[in-house]
Chains A and B, each alone.
Chain A
Amino acid sequence: MISHEGRERYKALRDEISQAAAGWLGRSTKQKKTKEEFWALKDVSFEVDKGDRVGIIGRNGAGKSTLLKIISRITEPTQGRISIKGRVASLLEVGTGFHPELTGRENIFLNGAILGMSRREIRAKLDEIIAFAEVEKFLDTPVKRYSSGMYVRLAFSVAAHLEPEILVVDEVLAVGDAAFQKKCLGKMEDVSQNEGRTVLFVSHNMGVVSQLCNKGILLSQGQVKLQGEMKKVVDAYLRSDDAQQQYRLKDPGQKKNYFTAIDIVNTKGEVQSDFAFDEPMTLRFSFLIQEPANGLQIGIGLEDKFNTRVFTILREIEYFDASDGTVHGEVELPASLIAPNTYSFVFAIWTRSGKVYDLQSGICPVTIHDNGTEYALYEGVDYGNVIIQPKWSSPKA
């Protein structure tokens, strides 16, 4: 069980080394003090019960990793307090402490000790770890000769066989090939659901988080914005200001061809993010082409909350009227097709030969609400991303 209250953390953003160096050169008196206060986390309070699988989500810089770092005692909080019952093990990165010169077997012991297992525990689980990682043949080869896949498999396998009461995980699942990822997910589910461990999980992948966790915490700018059932928290995140409601270009940087603005509008031309199932949705976008190329086209994709593509539509650039610099375009999506749920868009400009000029994903989140389909009864059940009107028949023999 973890209980967590009013914990705050202070970070002084300053470059002491250069300041000290300046001090040695006798310039410090002339220099203005450049201290700036920044709270990575402030007034964050929550409680986690035994056996809960908690997903912690939020935008980059929301304080997720800092929170995990404090819970796993890597950094000390400036204020507040965390009380924990049970052994905590953190998986902040697979393969932490692997030494390239040591063999697979030696690294299992080393890594296990670093993650907090005793030698006896490791010895007891050695066979299981090796079998899970599928590296039997190379056990006595230095890991520097391993393929990256083998390396990651071995590393995850050690971590997966830890038996702490509380497991803290930070985005480790984005490793290995698809088959191994699936195996990892299975193991994670096993650990949390069947063995009753408490898991704290940080991820950007809403799909994995929703699958794995039953409770969620949404962090925004160092504060808890929402906590509760995972599904609700994910929905809130997708619709929050944190995910951009409308896309507006801030800084093109080095980009030559790019989108400047993207909106989702209703039939009256008003920007909207909630649509009824039978309401047509229009994407209105503007882009700039400064570097014409052969086969240049724009593509728009719709993704569900697990980042699975629902559909993709393409249009070559010549289609649009580019007479006055910025190009404006609109596309109306058919109504009564996309199933009620939460989605986001992907916008891209690229050439047919594969050169990508601009790629904006996870933008313009929309929610489609059920307003009376025959599936309304099944809200929350995954019945697919589209609702189609098929032609049924029942021919006689």
Chain B
Amino acid sequence: MQANDQSWDLVIEPGRSEKNYWNDLWRYRELFYILSWRDIKVRYKQTVIGAAWSIIRPLLTTIIFTFVFSRVAKLQNPGDAPYALMVFAGMLPWQFFSNALSESSNSLVGNANLITKVYFPRMIIPASSVITSLVDFAISFLILLGMCIWYQYLPSWQIIFLPLFILFAFICAFGVGLYLTAVNVKYRDFRYIIPFIIQFGLYITPIGFSSSVIPEQYRLLYSLNPMVGVIDGFRWCILGDPMHWQSFFVSMGISILFLWIGVRYFRKMEKTFADSI
């Protein structure tokens, strides 16, 4: 019996899901909304101060970083903004990135019961946990506004480009997150490696200091860390700090490459998730 493809709603055969992948992703968008909503809803359940955590964590880190890098190490801000504001403009995307990374890398394992029982494009799960981190990001963004008022600092006009850099941060977090999620399903070792990557990144990424302290000849090498471009962009937008465009494009290229690798690897591994989780 040779079934004609048109007369069937669904044909299952090896490799078939590859072809309908992006269609399916669109068809399951409702599930994506509802999973994101669930993650946001339960994120701060049974905590006393709830969503205030997404304000307190970056704020305290910023205070410590400002003290250490500005007062103890006596580093200078190349622009005219207060040092704390510069630190926070870097802390904001970094917190988003690190949250997204740790949330999404555990998301598939945490939703194992769904994966082994129901079909849907698996990419929905890490994507919805990145969205959750984006909500945290939006809340912390309010502190930035508060700090601007406190320091009576008027952000530069470039702030209108900020959404682009948020998108850039999203691409960066999603790409790396996808890859780590997929590896984590198979090799649970990554559960221990990821916190380490995040801690490591906190120091090699220009959060407590401006990337302009990096010697010029190492600048391009330094911007292989995609978050360098994101943070530089944030500082350019908010504080009007000078922008090193060359290294920015390197960072952007790297994060798009990560996204490509992430999506490819994720889709390659996706078929075996139900078996190996």
Q: Interface on A for B, CB 8 Å cutoff?
A: 3, 5, 11, 16-17, 20, 69-88, 90, 92-93, 96-97, 99, 101-102, 106, 109-110, 113-115, 118-119
Contact = CB atoms under 8 A, between A and B. Distances in A.
Contacts of B38: 99, 102, 106, 110
B271 A75 contact: yes
Given A20-B187, A81-B12, A99-B42, 7 more contacts: A90-B119, A92-B118, A97-B118, A102-B38, A102-B42, A114-B120, A118-B30
B114 A114 contact: yes
Interface string B53-96: 00000000000000000000000000000000000000000000
B116 A83 contact: no
Contact of B12 (A16, A71, A109): A71
23 contacts: A3-B8, A17-B186, A17-B187, A71-B12, A74-B117, A76-B12, A76-B16, A78-B14, A80-B14, A83-B10, A85-B8, A86-B9, A88-B10, A97-B114, A97-B117, A97-B118, A99-B38, A102-B42, A106-B41, A109-B34, A113-B35, A114-B120, A119-B30
A3 B10 CA distance: 11
- Identify the 3 closest CB pairs spanning chains A and B, nearest first: A73-B119, A81-B13, A82-B12
B112 to A, nearest CB: 11
Given A74-B116, A82-B13, A84-B11, A110 B3 contact: no
B187 A82 contact: no
Contacts of B16: 76
Contact of A114 (B8, B31, B42): B31
Given A102-B41, A110-B38, A113-B30, A85 B116 contact: no
Nearest to B120: A114
A15 to B, nearest CB: 10
Most buried by B among A76, A88, A92: A76
Most buried by B among A20, A78, A97: A97
B34 A113 contact: yes
B19 interface: no
B30 to A, nearest CB: 6
Contact of A11 (B111, B187, B275): B275
B144 interface: no
A72 B119 contact: yes
Contacts of B188: 17
B12 A73 contact: yes
B217 interface: no
A97 B271 CA distance: 20
Nearest to B24: A73
Contact of B119 (A17, A74, A93, A101): A74
Contacts of A84: 8-12
B33 to A, nearest CB: 8
Nearest to A92: B117
A84 B5 CA distance: 10
Main secondary structure of the interface of A (DSSP, over half): mixed
A78 B117 CA distance: 19
Nearest to A115: B118
Contact of A5 (B1, B46, B271, B275): B1
B113 A74 contact: no
A67 B173 CA distance: 37
Given A3-B3, A69-B274, A82-B11, A74 B118 contact: yes
Nearest to B41: A102
A79 B38 CA distance: 37
A260 B186 CA distance: 43
Interface in B1-53: 1, 3, 7-17, 30-31, 34-35, 38, 41-42, 45-46
Contacts of A109: 34
Contacts of A102: 38, 41-42
Contacts of B116: 74
B42 A83 contact: no
Contacts of A70: 12
Given A73-B12, A78-B14, A96 B117 contact: yes
A72 B118 CA distance: 7
Contacts of B120: 114
Contacts of B35: 110, 113
A5 B200 CA distance: 53
Interface string B130-171: 000000000000000000000000000000000000000000
B172 to A, nearest CB: 27
Contacts of A79: 14
B14 A77 contact: yes
Contacts of B12: 70-71, 73, 76-77, 81-84
A96 B114 contact: yes
A76 B120 CA distance: 12
Contacts of B9: 84-87
Nearest to B9: A85
Nearest to A70: B12
Contacts of A113: 30-31, 34-35
A77 B11 contact: no
B271 A76 contact: yes
B42 A101 contact: yes
A97 B188 CA distance: 22
Contacts of A75: 271, 274-275
Contacts of A106: 38, 41
A16 B271 contact: no
A115 B11 CA distance: 19
Contacts of B30: 113, 118-119
A77 B118 contact: no
A96 B274 contact: no
Contacts of A69: 274
B45 A101 contact: yes
Nearest to B17: A76
Contacts of A88: 10
Contacts of A82: 11-13
A70 B16 CA distance: 13
Contact of B3 (A17, A83, A87, A97): A83
